[in-house]
Amino acid sequence: MNAATIDRIIEMAWEDRTPFEAIKYQFGLDEKAVIQLMRRELKRSSFELWRKRVNSGISHKHIKKRADGMLRFKSNLQRQITLNKISKR
């Protein structure tokens, strides 16, 4: 894995809205692999802070835990963006 891919996975893992299923779909890494990657790439204190956030009741890192059971990984507005321009409505 190159540095840009690792950075993107870490960014997605930090976001509360991005479920582990999205990371698996996009990069092929399950939750256990993401945890190992985060442990290897982050400072210990940063990793522990992230684990605390993921394990708390606030995080929605699993689709099953979400109230709406959201299965999509993109905003509806992203379909309208083409060539870095947002189409007018």
The mean pLDDT values, 10 residues at a time, for the chain of 89 residues are 91 87 91 94 93 73 58 54 52
Tell me the pairing of strands 81-82 and 85-86: antiparallel
Q: What are the structure tokens assigned to 79, written together? A: 């379909």
**pLDDT at site 56:** 73
- How far is residue 11 CA from its own chain's centroid? 7
**pLDDT at site 40:** 95
Closest CA to 27 of 40, 11, 41, 42: 11
First to last CA, the chain: 39
**pLDDT at site 32:** 93
Quote the pTM value: 0.64
Q: What are the structure tokens assigned to 22, written together? A: 């999205």
Contacts of 77 (CB under 8 A, 6+ apart): 86
**pLDDT at site 1:** 84
Domain assignments of the chain as residue spans, ordered by start: 3-86
